[in-house]
Amino acid sequence: MRYYIADLHFFHGNMNSRMDKRGFGSVEEMNEYMIQKWNSRIRQNDDIVVLGDFSLGKGEETNGILRRLNGRKFLIEGNHDRFLNDRKFDKKLFHWIKPYEEMKDNKRKVVLSHYPIFCYNGQYRLNKEGDAKTYMLFGHVHNTFDDRLVGKFINITKNTDVMLPSEDRTRVIPCQMINCFCMFSDYTPLTLDEWIELDAKRRIDQKDVSPVGFYEEEG
């Protein structure tokens, strides 16, 4: 099975008091909870794509976390993944590390980036049943006002008619962008189908775009 998750921020203590307000008593408590949630779902033969901002820890600290996590791990680089520049970090603990990737998942394409891509490759492609063939999975914006703005863009796009050169009728523009922020899934990696279901429910539950906090870049 393949799973996805974003913005775990191991060792990032400010996530408890600022921005996310995760509420753990310490970095150690947060790290242990996230490890437990990961390993409760993931087995050694599973694949997990982390959509950036895995750890703010140093190289050896991050090595220790990765060695405790089940599964084959893949990393889309995030802006807080500074351990990648630490010579003591063991890059072999990830199957690969890339800034961007496109993969197949059960006959669908997934576009993988730490940052949301509003006009992503394959966005207009539908199968014979009229369902989307491509999904854009991202992180970075957490549960902030920026995420609400992404939601507004998705709603506007999905309600916009377009005439494609290859078709003789108008149809709405597909827009399958999913924020795989770890707190939405209680720090548990999810499959593509699970993220699709969770994201649909979350978007319905969003009543407005009232500020929840802006994305903050530190350092």
Q: pLDDT tens digits for the chain (219 residues)?
A: 999 999 999 999 999 998 999 999 999 999 999 999 999 999 999 999 999 999 999 999 999 999 999 999 999 999 999 999 999 999 999 999 999 999 999 999 999 999 999 999 999 998 888 889 999 999 999 999 999 999 999 999 999 988 777 777 778 889 999 999 999 999 999 999 999 999 999 988 765 545 556 556 654
Cβ(11)–Cβ(57) under 8 Å?
yes
Q: For position 136, what pLDDT does the model report?
A: 98
Three-point CA angle 51, 53, 56, nearest 5°: 155
Contacts of 104 (CB under 8 A, 6+ apart): 110
Question: To the nearest whole number, what is the mean pLDDT of the chain?
Answer: 92
Number of domains in the chain: 1
Inside any domain, residue 213: no
The enclosing domain of 154 has a CATH number of: 3.60.21.10
Residues 7-18: tens digit of each pLDDT:
999 999 999 998
Inside any domain, residue 190: yes
Which run of H or of E encompasses 205? helix 192-205
Inside any domain, residue 101: yes
Inside any domain, residue 38: yes
Q: What is the pTM of this model?
A: 0.92
- The phi, psi pair for 126, rounded to 5°, reads -125, 155
Output b/e per residue, 65-75; b: 16+ Cβ within 10 A: bbeebbbebbb
Q: For position 109, what pLDDT does the model report?
A: 97
CA Rg, the chain, in Å? 18
User: Cα(71)–Cα(86) distance, rounded to whole angstroms?
Assistant: 23
Inside any domain, residue 219: no
Q: For position 22, what pLDDT does the model report?
A: 96
User: Cα(107)–Cα(123) distance, rounded to whole angstroms?
Assistant: 15
User: Cα(166)–Cα(76) distance, rounded to whole angstroms?
Assistant: 34
Inside any domain, residue 45: yes
Residues 92-134: tens digit of each pLDDT:
999 999 999 999 999 999 999 999 999 999 999 988 888 899 9
Inside any domain, residue 131: yes
Which run of H or of E encompasses 111? strand 108-113
Q: For position 85, what pLDDT does the model report?
A: 97
Cβ(174)–Cβ(127) under 8 Å?
no
Q: Which of 86, 68, 79 is nearest to 115 (CA)?
A: 79
Look at strands 100-105 and 108-113 and give their pairing.
antiparallel
What is the extent of the structural domain holding 13? 2-205
Inside any domain, residue 112: yes
